[in-house]
Structure 1
């Protein structure tokens, strides 16, 4: 099991914009470098990228949830 952690505090977004599909959903395959979400800090958006490949088992936070640095965002299997 691999964990994807928040690199910084802010608001986590699973979608690039409100009317678009999520970057990744549970059960989706993820390759190294794939974007799984965004962290917004003071109107700046930072991509959260997977550092390992696998399949998304679960997200630990919902779209638009506040997060802290080092907080678990998602878990990967494989």
Structure 2
């Protein structure tokens, strides 16, 4: 199991914008470097990318939820 953590504080979003589809769903296969969400702080958006390849097991932060540096956003079951 690999944890993908937030590198900065802010608001976590699962999709790139209103009305857009989510980047990934729980159960999807992800690759290293694949965008899984974004964190917004003061109108600046930073992509959160997977650091592991495998299946996205679970989101631990709700869409629109607050994150702090080091908070686990998702867990990935590695291949």
Q: TM-score, normalised by structure 2?
A: 0.96
Q: Which residue of 1 aligns with 2:61?
A: 61
Unaligned runs of 5+ in 1: none
Q: How does 1:1-78 map to 2 (within 5 A)?
A: 1-78=1-78
Q: TM-score, normalised by structure 1?
A: 0.97
- How many pairs align? 78
Q: Deviations over 1:10-65 (max 9, x none)?
A: 00000001201110100000000000000001000000001110100000011110
Unaligned runs of 5+ in 2: none
Q: What value does the CA root-mean-square deviation take over the aligned residues?
A: 0.5
Moved over 6 A (4+): none
CA–CA distance in structure 1, aligned partners of residues 22 and 62 of structure 2: 11
